[in-house]
Amino acid sequence: MLNKIVVLCATSLLAGCGQAPATDNVSAEASPEAVTVAARDFTNVDALGAMEAIQNIDNLVVLDVRTPEEFADGHIDGAININFYDDDFREQLEALDKSVPYLLHCRSGNRSNKALKIMRALGFQKVIHLDGGILAWNEAGLPLTQ
């Protein structure tokens, strides 16, 4: 009986060993390799990494989840705006193409981190999150459009 228990425990342990934990690739320093990895996964980048992604990733969609008023005060050129506070926010995300890469941001990172979780649950494949949001973008001296 004891042998059966030992074999069962060993089998259970070995079955779990082959699976790597699912983790985000977090890049504080953007490089071409980091941006390439970011385009295949979910990752956080700083403002310079976000700019590099915009410049180097084909079909990248910049998704701004701030309010329309915040968006009108200044946004990243070419960004689309979906208000995180809209009652149908999840449905608006669901209507987007989940196979294209996205650069996601809000004002400081709070709303966009919540949106990132929703996008993950909806099956988006490639999302780059601007850590620190538009505030970090401004601090880096990067341009905004009105």
For residues 121-136, average pLDDT: 97
pLDDT digits (tens, 9 = 90+) for 17-52: 333 333 344 334 444 444 444 444 899 999 999 999
The confidence score (pLDDT) of residue 123 equals 94
For domain 25-139, give the fold.
Oxidized Rhodanese; domain 1 (3.40.250)
CA quadruple 29, 33, 38, 41: dihedral sign:
negative
pLDDT band at 13 (very low <50, low <70, confident <90, very high): very low
CA quadruple 47, 65, 36, 28: dihedral sign:
positive
The confidence score (pLDDT) of residue 141 equals 97
Question: DSSP secondary-structure letter at 96?
Answer: S
3-state secondary structure of 105: strand
The confidence score (pLDDT) of residue 41 equals 86
The more confident residue out of 31 and 114 is 114
- Residues 127, 119: contact at Cβ < 8 Å? yes
Strands (E), 22-138: 25-26, 42-45, 61-64, 80-81, 102-105, 127-130
21: its two tokens:
């934990």
Mean confidence (pLDDT) of the chain = 81
pLDDT digits (tens, 9 = 90+) for 56-77: 999 999 999 999 999 999 999 9
Q: Where are the chain's structural domains?
A: 25-139
The confidence score (pLDDT) of residue 125 equals 95
128: its two tokens:
């780059």
For residues 77-98, average pLDDT: 98
Q: Please give the Cα distance from 18 to 9 (Å, whole number).
A: 15
Q: Is 106 a catalytic residue?
A: yes
CA quadruple 26, 27, 33, 35: dihedral sign:
positive
Task: Determine which one of 57, 79, 106, 127 is catalytic.
Answer: 106
The confidence score (pLDDT) of residue 96 equals 98
